[in-house]
Every structure is written in C-alpha cells, then in structure tokens.
Amino acid sequence: MQFARRRREIVLLLSASALAIGLLWLAGPALLRHIVPSYNMNIDHRLKPFDKTLGTNEDGILSPLTVHDFRPEDFNIIVLGDSFTQGTRVHYPSPSLVESSLTARFPARRIRVANFGWMSSSPVLQVRQLLDIGAKCTPKLVVQCFDMTDFHDDLKYTHWFRGRGVEPVQISIFHVASTAVSRTLGVRDYRAWLRSQVRWGEPDRWDADRDRARPRYFAVGESLQRTAPLLQTSWEAILATRAVAQKLGAKYVLLVLPRYQQFNPRESPRDWERDWPTWDQYIYEPFEYFRRQAATAPFPIHSLLEAFQTSGAFPVCFTDDPHWNAAGHHVAARAITEFLVQDGLLDGAE
C-alpha cells in the first residue's frame, strides 16, 4: 500500500513537472519579451532598434543619430563595452560626456561618439558587433572598455558558440533561468557546479578542460599565476577587435574599468550582487595582467582605477547597484578624454 502511494506521488510529481516545463516552453517567448523587452533574445542579446525607452537608433545603438549622421569627413568614435558603457539608470553615460568634452576641446571639427555598449556583453560578442555594423559609423577611433566580468563572460560565450555554432541562437526562458541561478550561486554554470559537488556526477567537458566551474569574478578571486591561461580567451578577442578596427581604418585603445570594491568598498552598501570574493588578496590581479600585456601590445592600454581612487567624488555608484551613477560617469568621462588626448588618438580632429 505504501509503495503504491509513493509511486502515485512520483507519477504526479513527474507529470506536474512535465506540464510546468511544457507551459514555460510555450509561454517562454512572451515572458522574455516582458522581462527584457529592449533586448534581442539570442546569444548576442543586443539592444533592439528604435527602442523609445532606451533611445536606440536603427542599429540598436544608443544614439539619437542615424548612421547617416556619422559622416566620413567627421571624427567618429565607437565605444564598445557592457552595461557600464551603456549607462544603466543614467541620462548621460560616459560616451556622450566624452563627446561633449572633446567637442569643447576641438570646436573646429565635428566629433561624433557612438555608444555601442549593452548589458552583459564582452569582447567575444563585441568583435562580432563591430564586424556587423562598425563600418556604418566610418570610425576613426575604436575605444573598448573592459569590465571585471568580461573574463568570465568571454569563457561562457565561447563555450556557447562551441556547442551551438557561431550563428545567433534563440535564447529560451530556461537559459535565462539557468543564468539567474548560476549568478545567485556565484558560479559560471550551476549545472556544472552541481555535478562537481556530487561524487557520482559526470564531469562536464568544459569544466574538465578548465579545472572546475569558475565563478563570475574568478579573475579577482585567484592569483594571476592560476588564472592567466583562462584570461587568454579575452585577450585573443581584444586582439581580434583591434584587427577589425584597423580594417575599418580606425585607431584602437583599450580601457580597463574598475569595480567599486577595488577603489572604495563603502560604495553601494545595498549592492544586489553577492558573488564578489569576500577576500581582497587578488582583487588587483586583472590590472597587473593588463599592465604586463601593455608592455608589448601594439596599442595603448589604460586603467581607470587611479582616476576613481583619486577623484574625491562620493558616491560614484548607486546605493543598491554596482553601476556608476551620474558622478561616476563624469569621473570615467574625464579620465577617458585625457587618455585619448594624451595618446594623440585625436590627431586629425583639430
């Protein structure tokens, strides 16, 4: 009797689970359009064109200008990056402030800055974006902003492309749920993490290659000696981006963006993220990595860490979110403007 009751419970549980999965599968596209209405639901997940809320143009770029406004005779700048570049919750993100600042310095030449930033992008996706639409802006300079999560995201996207090919693949509601659970646990892939915790679980091929499932901020949680091989994926994507910029006839510069934990832990006291390491022994390792790369790189590499450490501005991040507030974007824009001018990257804009 007890066995029969237990079997019925198991059957009901499996049936209910199958029904729930089926309903989610059918309703998934509508749910995603409601949850993230401004983003295309594929691996690249770029911003949608003509989004009135965000103010994107016909190519999904954060600009009131159309591609026809970026004339070949102008000094056009493309800024690549993630949500920090996009400018979460601010009216004037750093790219637009850089445009204003450079216009004031070089009034004789029309300078246009195209904000190519979008949430959770990284060099692996940004080089694809630059290849797709970069030529439309006829850039004379490409600025790539590198965030502390980009090392992790580049590994993730490379893994996705290996498994699904390089063509954009539609993301389902299950991909979004998987990402949400993984971020909550602070790991790259919760399924791989779960397998690593269960003795009888089969090892994931990717995790076997990479030693174990990596948390989002693995680059600031371990020594550079351990992580350097994993950082190569991002570096190769950066080199590819620079190569595309050269083919477009543009100069290139790489900017490394700090997180507030690296310059002032008092920022963002109600930060919703929970996966930053609780120890600070290795939090500056990414800057050391790029310092070493800069010694032989055929293009300038700059860190914005010192600019934020010495700005005297507080707060520069939102109370409940690690992204920069308006003051933070002003700090970044001033530093970026100075780097571009000092490096002579604006030569020809006079």
Q: Name the residue among 31, 30, 323, 18 with its Cα closest to residue 177.
A: 31
pLDDT of amino acid 170: 46
pTM of structure: 0.81
Name the nearest CA neighbour of 106 among 321, 349, 345.
349
What gap in Å lies between CA 77 and CA 75, rounded to an integer?
A: 7
Q: Residue 311 is which amino acid?
A: S
pLDDT digits (tens, 9 = 90+) for 115-136: 999 999 999 999 999 999 999 9
Q: Return the closest-CA partner of residue 237 out of 326, 131, 319.
A: 131
**What CA–CA distance (Å, rounded) separates 68 from 74?**
11
For residue 45, give the nearest of 173, 182, 177, 168 by alpha carbon. Answer: 168
User: How do the domains of the chain map onto residue ranges?
Assistant: 69-147+222-342
Position 42 scores a pLDDT of: 78
pLDDT tens by residue, the chain, 350 residues: 555 666 665 556 555 545 544 444 444 454 444 444 555 567 888 999 999 889 999 999 999 999 899 999 999 999 999 999 999 899 999 999 999 999 999 999 999 999 999 999 999 999 999 999 999 999 999 999 999 999 999 999 998 887 665 444 444 444 545 555 454 545 445 455 454 555 444 444 334 344 345 789 999 999 999 999 999 999 999 999 999 999 999 999 999 999 999 999 999 999 999 899 999 999 999 999 999 999 999 999 999 999 999 999 999 999 999 999 999 999 999 999 999 999 999 987 66
Candidates 311, 327, 219, 324; CA nearest to 268 is 324
Q: Tell me if 183 sits within 8 A of 165, measured CB to CB.
A: no
What is d(CA 167, CA 178) in angstroms, rounded to the nearest whole number? 21
Instruction: Give every CB contact of residue 347 below 8 A, 6+ residues apart in sequence.
Output: none
* Tens-digit pLDDT profile for residues 134-181: 999 999 999 999 999 999 999 999 988 876 654 444 444 445 455 554
What pLDDT does residue 274 have? 85
Rounded to whole angstroms, the Cα distance separating 155 from 215 reads: 11
Does domain 69-147+222-342 fall under CATH 3.40.50.1110? My reply is yes
Calpha distance 237→266 (Å, rounded): 33
CA distance 182 to 197: 14
> Considering only CA atoms, which of 217, 216, 186 is closest in space to residue 283?
217
- Distance between CA atoms of 286 and 152, rounded to whole angstroms? 12
Q: In this structure, what token pair is assigned to residue 169?
A: 């693949």
What is the model's pLDDT at position 6?
A: 63
Strand segments, DSSP code E, in the chain are: 75-80, 111-115, 141-146, 251-256, 301-303, 317-318, 321-324
First-to-last alpha carbon distance for the chain, in angstroms, is 88
- Strand 111-115, strand 75-80: pairing: parallel
Q: Evaluate whether 345 touches 253 at the Cβ level (below 8 Å).
A: yes
* Residue 24 neighbours by CB under 8 Å, 6+ apart: 31, 173, 174
The whole-number pLDDT of residue 45 equals 87
Beta pairing, strands 251-256 & 141-146: parallel
